[in-house]
């Protein structure tokens, strides 16, 4: 399917998503029935980079994952979670190339999420993945997001739930905060999704935007997590219906923060922006440096400005759900490389 047809199908899917604001994931697709939910028969490996713990006071270490698990199972999917044992935000595409990984099932799930996937073949199992051969503990190093997906596809799911030919789809998130512009390069949520398509499995990454009214920390509202998950389940059903679940690219979805009674302004087809979103600073004390981060202040000297007309972060800030295809191909093409190409081909 070419780009124009892909865009047209995604646009049509988006229009259906917003035609009925009260639609639930299990009932939102044409042709689905209570007896045959929209995602029936779809086997989903669910991961993230925030971990599967959900023990922090603000639940930033996994609430988005459990909301997506709830929504996908409500839509009929068979969902198994294999996620990092501990928070791996910023891990990007890093992976463990040797040694051992331990897959440990979580027997007691966070309150309100225990029975969301009962009756499915995989039982809604939730596994945390850590490094080493011992049981995962409080101080055990965590596997990376990419580790969890590669392990799940290449033997983990077969061993634990009997999916001998792997999942049909990998979903990552929803992430604590957006993955747009410069943040895309370091996102573990996207790193896990890219690992999936590298293994030939379609992947969708879901991300929930921060509440801009909270200025002393990063916070994602509970209703934003819930809406991200419901939108993601609806979108995946639409992609499945239109034959758009593909391993050629990751579908990266960012859901905006809106007031509880506000709907998003629409769904926007975007590109990864060039703007620098988060700045890092390093404070020295002898030979030790403490790493800090803060949101980049627009128009400040160290804040790289946006150069694209339909950039993801700009449209997300305006209240749109952004949908961006992300490829692992890092080859730069265009006029900027012609001088380098001539130099290399000319041998001087």
What pLDDT shows up at residue 18?
46
Is the bond leading into 122 cis (omega within 30 degrees of zero)? Answer: no
Compare 288 and 141 and report the one with higher pLDDT.
141
**pTM for this entry:** 0.87
248 or 281, greater pLDDT: 248
Average pLDDT over residues 220-226: 96
- How confident is the model over 15-51, as pLDDT tens digits? 445 443 333 333 334 445 556 789 999 999 999 999 9
Percent residues over pLDDT 70 in the chain: 88
Average pLDDT over residues 98-113: 96
Helix (H, G, I), strand (E, B) or coil at 110: coil
Lowest mean pLDDT among 87-91, 159-163, 168-172, 280-284: 280-284
Q: Using alpha carbons only, give the angle 123, 145, 283 rounded to the nearest 5 degrees.
A: 140
User: What would the mean pLDDT of 330-345 be, rounded to a whole number?
Assistant: 88
Q: Report the pLDDT value the prediction gives residue 32, as an integer from 0 to 100.
A: 55
Q: Is the pLDDT of residue 81 over 70?
A: yes
Judged against a pLDDT cut of 70, whether residue 196 lies above it is answered with yes
| C-beta atoms surrounding 296 within 10 Å | 18
Can you tell me which residue has the tokens 């698990």? 69
Instruction: Over range 256-269, report the average pLDDT.
Output: 94
Contact assessment for residue 150 and residue 199, using Cβ atoms and an 8 Å cutoff = yes
Task: Give pLDDT, residue 28.
Answer: 39
215 pLDDT more than 80: no
Helix (H) or strand (E) holding 150: helix 145-151
Structure tokens at 84: 């990092």
Report whether pLDDT(87) > 50: yes
> Mean pLDDT for the chain?
88
């Amino acid at each position: 399917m070419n780009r124009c047809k892909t865009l047209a199908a995604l646009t049509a899917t988006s229009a259906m998503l917003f035609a009925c604001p009260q639609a639930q994931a299990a009932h939102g697709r044409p042709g689905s029935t209570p007896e045959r939910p929209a995602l029936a028969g779809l086997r989903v490996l669910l991961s993230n980079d925030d971990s599967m713990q959900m023990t922090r006071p603000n639940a930033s270490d996994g609430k988005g994952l459990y909301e997506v698990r709830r929504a996908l199972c409500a839509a009929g999917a068979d969902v198994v979670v294999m996620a990092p044992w501990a928070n791996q935000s910023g891990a990007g595409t890093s992976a463990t190339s040797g040694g051992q990984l331990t897959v440990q099932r979580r027997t007691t799930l966070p309150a309100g999420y225990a029975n969301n996937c009962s009756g499915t073949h995989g039982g809604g199992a939730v596994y945390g993945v850590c490094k080493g051969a011992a049981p995962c503990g409080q101080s055990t190093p965590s596997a990376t997001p990419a580790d969890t997906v590669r392990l799940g596809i290449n033997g983990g799911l077969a061993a634990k739930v009997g999916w001998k030919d792997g999942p049909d789809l990998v979903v990552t998130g929803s992430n604590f905060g957006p993955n747009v512009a410069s943040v895309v390069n370091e996102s573990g949520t996207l790193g896990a999704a890219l690992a999936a398509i590298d293994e030939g499995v379609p992947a969708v990454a879901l991300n929930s935007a921060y509440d801009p009214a909270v200025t002393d920390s990063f916070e994602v509202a509970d209703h934003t997590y819930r809406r991200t998950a419901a939108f993601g389940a609806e979108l995946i059903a639409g992609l499945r219906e239109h034959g758009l679940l593909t391993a050629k690219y990751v579908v990266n979805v960012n859901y905006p923060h809106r007031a509880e009674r506000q709907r998003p302004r629409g769904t926007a087809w975007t590109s990864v922006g060039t703007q620098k979103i988060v700045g890092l600073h390093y404070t020295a004390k002898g030979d030790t440096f403490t790493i800090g981060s803060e949101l980049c202040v627009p128009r400040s000297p160290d804040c790289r400005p946006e150069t694209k007309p339909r950039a993801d972060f700009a449209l997300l800030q305006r209240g749109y759900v952004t949908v961006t295809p992300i490829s692992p191909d890092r080859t730069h093409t265009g006029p900027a490389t012609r001088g380098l190409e001539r130099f290399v081909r000319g041998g001087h």
